[in-house]
Structure 1
Amino acid sequence: MKNRFVNAMLAASVLSALILPASISAEDTKEVLVPLRSSAEALGADVQWLPSDKAIRVSLGDKEWRVQLNQSQSTLNGGAFNLSSAPVQNKELVTLVSLASFNKALAVDVDWNSTDGINIEHADTRTKALYFMARMKQGKFENAEQLLNSSLKVKLPIEQLSLMPIKIGSLFGTSWTLLKADSNQSLVHRNERLVYKTPQGAVFALELRFDKQGLLDDIGLVTDVSSNYKAPSYDHPDQYIEKEVVIGQSPFQLPGVLTLPKGEGKFPVVVLVHGSGPNDRDESIGGSKMFRDLAGGLANKGIAVLRYDKRTREYPIRSDFPKFTVKEETIDDAIYAVQALKAEEKIDTSQIYVLGHSQGGMLIPRILEADTDKSIAGAMLMAAPSGSLEDLVIKQYEGAIERYRAAGVPESAIAQIEQVIQYYKIIKDPQYSKDNLPQQFPLGNAYWWYDFRNYSGPEIAKKQQVPLFIAQGENDVQVDKSNLDVWKQDLAGRSNVVYKSYPALTHLFVPYDKPSTGNEYALSANVPEQVVLDLADWIHSKK
């Protein structure tokens, strides 16, 4: 449930000069020459001199560039790569290459001169990200604020920046190397994802988010990098269009996508609300993308779907403030999403529905409370806990201990889990509250937990009349089927609630033929079409 992802935050300057000693100037040649080693290392490249060949090998992510002195042909990833001029050495034995060839080979956009050194073009956020990470690993923090925008400066003064490489190192060591750099553009940020690999084979990514001015707006650590997800057979992209949208208000606008069935509207629409943790719009977990499946499947049934990146995903650093609660994490943005749909001409605004998964499901009653103008026509809860989150997490850990003992896991490892359980029991201690927090709380933002303590969704839902569809997978190791029984019991006085239980489905609403432990989440799997049909039928029945 409340999965406390560690967020890595780094910053560095792109303005530090790399001065070329006794450089060959533009007056001496017809083109700008740059010092190969220092320029490449400034971007995080590994540079090696090969004395037997009088060559230099530059490795940067998925690029390996090998240049040889006085040879106008080099190799790039094993293929021939012609240089605009042959590399030379100056009297200090610094190897110089043409700036144009340097930029083309490494797919960067930098300028260079002997006075200012290397400078990165404003729009080249990929190279800024590479430079940024390289300088942070080298411990050069002094000009970091020049890369941060004003919002991030507040969260990351230099004394905090200097701790970031230490935090990354505590998780992955200090010798991780770049595998690749990917870019994508949303309506909110230009995102640069740098994927790294450790000597032990662990893979992680840092996502650097740049604003429209080319300044760093936030940074997040992603540990679940690889995915073998495949779209389900019932997803037919030729039957719908996807439109990029922006949800919420400054300073926490969120990128999202509205999946619209083709044809003339107006269509009913579903807003998807994430479970715990910094989820993306697809709710990507291991080999599944539950929200992506639902969006395509429902669109094929004539129902539009709005999904968006969670606030803690888009702003992992800036959203972390002392009195951050589930209101800011989830509820506010769900309401913003509902309100945004009113401006969409192909949406039937009398049929706006909200679907919450896991923690998002347990918060549906709070979301309905916040819907003061009664815009939500109905809501769907999937794998929604019926009791408090802290009790659920304790139950999850106790179940893990039983499984580990049965599997012969050493008692020393089990003792560590038992210690974590004690941390969660602190939340139950009546001497503490959100106005009297424990001094050293070991579970992150204490205010978040004490604000959410003893929460009961069914108690709130008893007093509401918005139609509900409550679904549960019976093979759910995180939120077991007893939770559905509690919802049924507590809402027995209501006549507009539909319940559905799926025997083989896990917490991610995908099938698994063995008892779920969570380890199977890595497997490629999809939400069954029957789940999509049940949701679609319920929505269409509300017209």
Structure 2
Amino acid sequence: MTIRLFLFIALCLPFVAIAQSDNKTKAVRFMQWLSNNKADSAATLVAPEVAGKLSGPVLQGAWQQISAAYGKCESVSSSSAANDASISVDGTFEKAILVFAINFNDKGIVGFFVSGSKERNLVISAFKEEEKAIDVNGGKLYGTLMLPDNKTRFPVVMIIAGSGSTDRNGNSIPLLTAGSYRLLAEVLAKNGIGSFRYDKRGVGESSSFNPPATSALFNDYISDATTLVKELHKDKRVSKVIVAGHSEGSLIGMIAAREEKAEGFISLCGAGEPINYTLSRQLKQQLPIMGNKINNILDSLKNGNTVKEVPPILQSIFNPQLQPYLISWIRFDPREEIKKMKMPVLIIGGGTDVQVPIADAESLHSALPSSKKLIIGSMNHILKDAPADRAANLVTYTKADLPLSQELVEAIIAFTK
């Protein structure tokens, strides 16, 4: 459930509307200089107030890390512009197409981070896939329907991603490259079950929205998921829809599944308490000295009030742009929402999950005793077997070749069938 620091370079300064019409050009030039090992030149486009944090050496180090993971950058092109203060640029690397968000104020660039990815078809897939573009309020959501072989009618598991910039494959580049959702889709297809996974608004291909996805509230993601369930129900090949929500997607999924009458729901490492409690616990574990300030901010947000003064160390979570979303999220209690469900429900938690403890799965099950509960002792938050040691656990977040927990796979297949 942790709201991730999007990238080590993501400076969470407020977006400032500006009138410069050449920011698109500057954003492309900035990325081209980085890809051509001219980080010092790229630093000349940075706003003075962040020059120390986005210096040439810092930019060079960041780019080297990205290149080590995805190979050489072959080309750069402007993707879209939500407004003059936020430009989207595609970088085509040897292993993936990364979508970068370049943020400006009136003096220059104030931050850049990876906001999503578009896979390159370097290997022919062993599975039949259909790419979908589905209209929702304000834009289109892009996703992939994976079809099982030799089936004219089949159940479909709709996978809803966790928080932050996690894409349809379960990646939030460069911090998370485990590919868990794609792995799940592939193993389901092998067992005669279809799946639909999608890029949330503002992530990957689903980047163009009006108003921009940066202003979305929690209800928007629920509405999106509800629309997608409805569209899947219209497909005559689909015998039933099982919604599987991972992490933050668990709460989104349980509401969407209920509203659109899905045939089943699976909570994968979902929170069993309102998000303010989860954030308080997680942040105070990492920053115990900020405990009182964290509680004060969360109390204000719970009461529907934004907070103007946020310590720099907490800006990545509580910056002004994110606060309306957090306010809208805090209003939902997963325990109250799951009580309303009349369909079959499977709740899965991981014994080595360092983000959402198994107590949350227990809490959800207590709220809906008719649900099935499964605690997989060796499974972590990204649905793979991992040690309990935090550092060793987090190493698995970048290992796409590590398979999913076999116990998890068997449980989802049995529940769906």
In the other structure, the counterpart of 2:85 is: none
Q: Does 2:189 match 1:299?
A: yes
Q: Does 2:158 match 1:274?
A: no
Summarize the Cα distance change of 1:366–1:244 in structure 2 as closer, same or farther, 3 Å threshold.
same
Summarize the Cα distance change of 1:44–1:460 in structure 2 as closer, same or farther, 3 Å threshold.
closer
In the other structure, the counterpart of 2:36 is: 61
Contact persistence 1:181–1:192 (CA under 8 A): no
Contact persistence 1:397–1:421 (CA under 8 A): no
What does the per-residue CA deviation read over 1:505-540, in whole Å, with 9 as the maximum and x for residues that have no partner?
Answer: 111111113433553244522212332121011111
Matches within 5 A, 1:159-308: 169=51, 171-175=53-57, 176-177=59-60, 180-181=72-73, 192-193=90-91, 207=100, 221-222=113-114, 238=126, 240-249=127-136, 251-284=138-171, 286-308=176-198
What does the per-residue CA deviation read over 1:211-235, in whole Å, with 9 as the maximum and x for residues that have no partner?
Answer: xxxxxxxx9722899x9xxx9xxxx
What's the C-alpha RMSD, in Å, of the aligned pairs? 4.1
Quick one: distance in 1 between partners of 2:149 and 2:31? Answer: 46
Contact persistence 1:331–1:370 (CA under 8 A): no
Q: CA deviation at 1:174?
A: 3.6
Contact persistence 1:7–1:316 (CA under 8 A): no
Quick one: distance in 2 between partners of 1:538 and 1:194? Answer: 39
Contact persistence 2:263–2:344 (CA under 8 A): yes
Quick one: distance in 1 between partners of 2:376 and 2:138? Answer: 40
SS across alignment from 2:298: helix
SS across alignment from 2:390: coil
Matches within 5 A, 1:292-371: 292-313=182-203, 314-315=206-207, 318-321=212-215, 324-328=216-220, 330-348=221-239, 351-371=240-260
Figure out how many residues of one structure are paired with residues of the other and give that number: 355
Summarize the Cα distance change of 1:539–1:170 in structure 2 as closer, same or farther, 3 Å threshold.
farther
Summarize the Cα distance change of 1:361–1:45 in structure 2 as closer, same or farther, 3 Å threshold.
closer
Summarize the Cα distance change of 1:250–1:385 in structure 2 as closer, same or farther, 3 Å threshold.
closer
Q: Does 2:389 match 1:515?
A: yes
Q: CA deviation at 1:287?
A: 4.4
Summarize the Cα distance change of 1:172–1:439 in structure 2 as closer, same or farther, 3 Å threshold.
closer
What does the per-residue CA deviation read over 1:124-164, in whole Å, with 9 as the maximum and x for residues that have no partner?
Answer: xxxxxxxxx9998654xxxxxxxxxxxxxxxxxxxxxxxx7
Contact persistence 1:247–1:308 (CA under 8 A): no
Q: CA deviation at 1:421?
A: 6.2
**Which residue of 426, 431, 437 maps to 2:297?**
426
Quick one: distance in 2 between partners of 1:362 and 1:250? Answer: 20
Greater Rg by CA: 1
Quick one: distance in 2 between partners of 1:535 and 1:15? Answer: 47
What does the per-residue CA deviation read over 1:321-355, in whole Å, with 9 as the maximum and x for residues that have no partner?
Answer: 2xx32112x2122112212224434322xx11110
AA paired with 1:344?
D
Summarize the Cα distance change of 1:500–1:168 in structure 2 as closer, same or farther, 3 Å threshold.
farther
In the other structure, the counterpart of 1:116 is: none
**Which residue of 366, 376, 379 maps to 1:505?**
379
Summarize the Cα distance change of 1:299–1:428 in structure 2 as closer, same or farther, 3 Å threshold.
same
Q: CA deviation at 1:7?
A: 7.3
Contact persistence 1:474–1:480 (CA under 8 A): yes
Q: CA deviation at 1:171?
A: 4.5
SS across alignment from 1:320: helix
Summarize the Cα distance change of 1:437–1:241 in structure 2 as closer, same or farther, 3 Å threshold.
same
**Which residue of 263, 275, 294 maps to 1:389?**
275
Q: CA deviation at 1:3?
A: 2.6
Uncovered stretches (5+) of structure 2, i.e. residues with no partner: 82-87, 103-110
Q: Does 2:22 match 1:12?
A: yes
Uncovered stretches (5+) of structure 1, i.e. residues with no partner: 17-40, 47-58, 65-132, 140-163, 196-204, 210-218, 401-413
What does the per-residue CA deviation read over 1:419-443, in whole Å, with 9 as the maximum and x for residues that have no partner?
Answer: 266235422249x733x43344550
In the other structure, the counterpart of 2:306 is: 437
Summarize the Cα distance change of 1:136–1:428 in structure 2 as closer, same or farther, 3 Å threshold.
same
Contact persistence 2:376–2:407 (CA under 8 A): no
Contact persistence 1:379–1:467 (CA under 8 A): yes
Quick one: distance in 2 between partners of 1:485 and 1:13? Answer: 50
Summarize the Cα distance change of 1:522–1:264 in structure 2 as closer, same or farther, 3 Å threshold.
closer
Summarize the Cα distance change of 1:169–1:381 in structure 2 as closer, same or farther, 3 Å threshold.
farther
Q: Does 2:330 match 1:453?
A: yes
What does the per-residue CA deviation read over 1:83-137, in whole Å, with 9 as the maximum and x for residues that have no partner?
Answer: xxxxxxxxxxxxxxxxxxxxxxxxxxxxxxxxxxxxxxxxxxxxxxxxxx99986
AA paired with 1:326?
F
AA paired with 2:403?
N
**Which residue of 406, 409, 415 maps to 1:532?**
409
Task: After the TM superposition, list the runs of 4 or more consecutive aligned residues in structure 1 that deviate by more than 4 angstroms.
Answer: 7-11, 13-16, 41-46, 133-139, 164-171, 182-185, 188-191
Q: CA deviation at 1:460?
A: 2.0
Structure ranking higher on relative contact order (CA contacts 8 Å, 6+ apart) = 2
Contact persistence 2:140–2:208 (CA under 8 A): no
What does the per-residue CA deviation read over 1:210-260, in whole Å, with 9 as the maximum and x for residues that have no partner?
Answer: xxxxxxxxx9722899x9xxx9xxxx953x301111133364212211110
Contact persistence 1:394–1:421 (CA under 8 A): no
Summarize the Cα distance change of 1:391–1:457 in structure 2 as closer, same or farther, 3 Å threshold.
same
Q: CA deviation at 1:484?
A: 1.7
In the other structure, the counterpart of 1:489 is: 366
Quick one: distance in 2 between partners of 1:447 and 1:536? Answer: 38
Summarize the Cα distance change of 1:393–1:308 in structure 2 as closer, same or farther, 3 Å threshold.
same
Quick one: distance in 1 between partners of 2:199 and 2:395? Answer: 24
Q: CA deviation at 1:61?
A: 3.3
Quick one: distance in 2 between partners of 1:454 and 1:250? Answer: 22
Normalising by structure 1, report the TM-score. Answer: 0.56
Contact persistence 2:128–2:148 (CA under 8 A): yes
Q: CA deviation at 1:316?
A: 8.9
Quick one: distance in 1 between partners of 2:55 and 2:291? Answer: 24
**What's the % identity of the aligned pairs?**
17
Quick one: distance in 1 between partners of 2:395 and 2:24? Answer: 43
Q: CA deviation at 1:498?
A: 1.2
